[in-house]
Structure 1
């Protein structure tokens, strides 16, 4: 079995967004799935901060958490699947699910993060509609 994997090809072909940001929160990797999910081309995303996709109301908490992770080299989320709102290029809100991993330099200093992101907007809307329908059935209005 050939274990040589072309990582560039892997990043380009996966269905989930792969985004890498450096210690200053600047986007340094943006794959085609990220373009499909968020609407920004790779050229538009590279060099920008993650504020590009973080909704205004979440930015302060996000920025504080990001800075803390860069200072400590840890994330409190580990391998947890995070579910949060995100922002599309057209201004619409997305529901995303993602995992995040810390990246380190040769001296084991945190120098960025990688996020693997899936668009859950449609599934989240379906789930919300089903919950409402169930609630309506359990609590009929007279």
Structure 2
């Protein structure tokens, strides 16, 4: 027996943020996980530009890529995960990872972009701390080896 899937319920229940934006980059869907992740309610996000969560220094690069995707209908982030910084409502920076899907019109033009987003801030901080620790250990080892060879 095949169960009918309630897509609205799925979007509302899933733990990853789901954000859909139209051809001009205005947010048209903002699920509860997006609210938890970025701090903006649906009312605050819907209809607004994705600039809401994009750090200012990243915006030009983002919009260049966004426009290229709209023009060509091609994105490499359907399969490859993109890791970038984002901004929370309170101003703190997040490290996010996401994939995208393109939604098309009946004429096969890109109508919207769906991003499925995960907050990887804690993993990113752990990786950075680990890299720092390895660098410190390598420096100690090099200093010890230099002292021993003198």
Category of TM-score, reference length = shorter chain: over 0.9
SS of the residue 1:139 aligns to:
helix
- Residue 10 in structure 1 maps to residue 7 in structure 2: no
What's 2:115 paired with? 115
What's 2:147 paired with? none
- TM-score, normalising length: structure 2: 0.90
Q: What are the ranges of 5 or more consecutive residues in structure 1 without an aligned counterpart?
A: none
User: Higher helix share goes to which structure?
Assistant: 2
Distance 1:95 1:66 in 2: 19
Distance 2:41 2:132 in 1: 36
Distance 1:118 1:76 in 2: 18
* Matched pairs, number: 142
Moved over 3 A (4+): none
What's 1:131 paired with? 131
What's 2:75 paired with? 75
Deviation string 1:29-75 (CA, Å, 9 cap, x unpaired) is: 00000000000001100000100001000101111111111111111
- TM-score, normalising length: structure 1: 0.95
RMSD: 1.2
